[in-house]
Structure 1
Amino acid sequence: MDLELRHLKAIRAIADAGSLTRAATALGLAQPALSAQLKRIERALGGALFERSREGVRTTALGDLVLDRARVVLPAVCELQEEAVRFAREGAGGYRLGGTHGPLLGSLVDRLARTEPGTPVTTHTSWSEREIARGVAAGRLDFALVGVCGESAPPEAGRLAWTEVARDPVYVMLAADHPLASRTELDLAELAVEAWTDVPGDGCFGDCFAAACVRAGFTPACVYETDTASCVHLVQVGRAVGLCRATFPPTPGIVTRPLTGAPLIWRHLLGWHPEGRAAGRAATVLHHTRAAHAAALAHSAGLLTAPGHNAVAGAD
């Protein structure tokens, strides 16, 4: 016979009550049934756990050992069960969001928190769109907020449901004192001699950018791949020009300009598992995500006097 939690509970009840009769009453069992159960437990453990007398029962040395362990194990199991129930209850009503870096994820968290106060919202960020998508496919995340270049397929396309939130033309960021800053639109070929900066990622944006440059007649001489703040700094000090979208707020010392013909497009996507626990809330999350994008776009456009917007490409 394998020892079970109910056996430990019986041992504890007998020790606490001091008699089989009182323990049986506390456990809701008949005294003969508890006595028979105790005999089976003692056989499984290799010795007597209690000494019986007219005054009741008293633990043996083996009984003391088992009882000491039971007093540790039983509360721990009870706590585990309570935490599991609480986690399942909160998880079922919460949102586990994954995304690459940028303002949309933060705005989505804010909107969910305001409209559903008390509902847990957790986030996981990564430069890797594939990592985020794998997290949703494996059930570790409920939703993925990522971006892809042009018409490229999103990661885990065969396992996840993907919906387009919005699409932005990719712009170029220049230092405010750059010789071309006064222009309202730039041809990509005019930037052939520039150093470039963008953020890392495992999508195809880097390849799409390289292909657009080749079509424009040049190959970028230098590309600094770094975090968003460093990209902005390199542009501000004139060390490089950057690629940008509409959802990044205006930044001092930087102007943004559209590229003639919009050679690069960035699509914001929301993904979820069609059979996942949160699939029924996809419409709600999509609504808030689109509202977050619209608000970010309006904020950027409203604060800029020249055409164009600030958004470091590759950061969602």
Structure 2
Amino acid sequence: MRHLRALCAIADTGSLHKAARQLGMSQPSLTTQLRRIENALGAELFSRGRTGCRPTPLGRSVLSRARPLVADMAALVTETLAEAARADGPRLRVGSTASRALPGWLRRLRDRFPGTDVGLRVDVSAHALLRELAAGRLDVAFVHEVEGCPLRVPDGLVHRVLVAREPQFVSLAPTHPAAARTVVDLADLARDHWMVDPNVDGEWDGLRRVLATAGIDPPLLHGDYHTAASLISLGEAVAPCQPTSVPREDLAVRPLRGDPLAVRLLLYARPATPLDPLHADLAAAYREAAHRSPPYRAWLHAGGTAAPCLLQDPPVDRDPP
């Protein structure tokens, strides 16, 4: 089934690169897997060119038989998981990209649904979480969508918008000259190394687009944001960050002038999931996280328009700093 899913993904996306991202694997690994499949069959299933991958006549024949098998297996997994959940008692399986609202949200969910086993899966890829949700392995997924890079959402999911446009701030060393300002211009960072995690869906493309629009072409580094924090504190790099990030002694957080980088925060679920109360609890947890960040709180009260409800003071007895 793993090989059949890979073939379907390559055909659906028309690209080994895009298919690898959809499957949550590296492009070289997918290329090797495709080569092994074709070697086993003794013929090419896809023709490769500058415009991408296209199925050969044999490839179309194989895909016509592979797609029903993949769909049937997905249905089997979904139904089996649902049956297991009913047998084991109530469960709520939560997926999320990284967010500082998560601790407060999980606590609220456990308060709202006593006796329910609330599980959590965190993944840098929103697409991976949405696939898990559509396959029945998650009940709800909190994800972000980089502006200009729309998510590929599987059919049959419902959603609510948490924040229509969340600005992305920048993290930099406190000794960086731009850290002396309350708002930073992209031009002030034109000669810095920017670090971005290419595994975060849309992040690399979104940052390149914003930098190109600003007319700057700084050197870029690829790596996870835990590594980035170490480099930033040493003055070796700067990086986009969530506005809910809390500054540290070795890390400054500043908004960018004009808010050129932004994401949309979305909550997805399958139709049977009670989405409205989950959304209400997430909104309360996010509001608290926003107010715990001095730069974000100042940005909101200076006229930021992420969400009007964020200007309300959060309850002080639910999630203390």
Tell me the TM-score normalised to structure 2 length.
0.62
Indicate yes or no: 2:276 matched with 1:283. yes
SS of structure 2 residue aligned to 1:193: coil
Write the mapping of 1:114-153 to structure 2, written as runs, cut at 5 A: 114-150=111-147, 152-153=149-150
Deviation at residue 222 of structure 1 after TM alignment: 2.3
Q: Does 1:198 align with 2:196?
A: yes
Deviation, structure 1 residue 192: 1.0
The residue identity in structure 2 corresponding to 1:217 is G
Give the C-alpha shift of residue 307 in structure 1. Answer: 5.7
* Pairs within 5 Å for 1:42-57: none
| Conserved 8 A contact 1:150-1:267 | yes
Contact kept in structure 1, 2:192 and 2:237, CA below 8 Å: yes
One-letter identity of the residue aligned with 2:277: T
Structure 1 residues 195-274: aligned runs within 5 Å: 195-226=193-224, 228-274=225-271
Aligned mates of 1:205, 1:303 — CA distance in 2: 20
Q: Distance in 1 between matches of 2:111 and 2:246?
A: 22
Query: Who is 1:294 aligned against?
Result: 287
CA deviation string 1:67-98 (max 9, x = no partner): xxxxxxxxxxxxxxxxx98841555x321101
Q: Which sections of structure 2, spanning at least 5 residues, go unmatched?
A: 1-81, 301-321
Q: CA deviation at 1:289?
A: 0.9
Question: 1:219-246 deviations in whole A, cap 9, x for unaligned?
Answer: 23122321x3222221111110111122
* TM-score, scaled relative to structure 1: 0.63
- Unaligned ranges ≥5, structure 1: 1-83, 309-316
Q: Deviations over 1:23-49 (max 9, x none)?
A: xxxxxxxxxxxxxxxxxxxxxxxxxxx
Shift of 1:146: 0.8
Aligned twin of 1:25:
none
Task: Tell me the percent identity.
Answer: 30
Contact 1:246 1:296 in 2 (8 A): no
Pick closer, same or farther for the CA change 1:126–1:302 going to 2, 3 Å: closer
SS at 2:121's partner residue? strand
Larger Rg over CA atoms: 1
Comparing 185-194 and 149-158, the one that deviates more: 149-158
- State the Cα deviation string for residues 287-309 of structure 1 (Å, max 9, x = none): 111111101001112898x769x
TM-aligned CA deviation for residue 117 of structure 1? 3.0
Q: Give the secondary-structure state (helix, strand or coil) at the position aligned to 1:283.
A: helix
1:150–1:264 Cα contact (<8 Å) kept:
yes
Aligned letter for 1:221?
A: P
Matched, 1:164 2:157: no
Partner SS state of residue 162, structure 2: strand
Q: Is the 8 A contact 2:245 2:253 kept in 1?
A: no
SS of 2:180 mapped into structure 1: coil
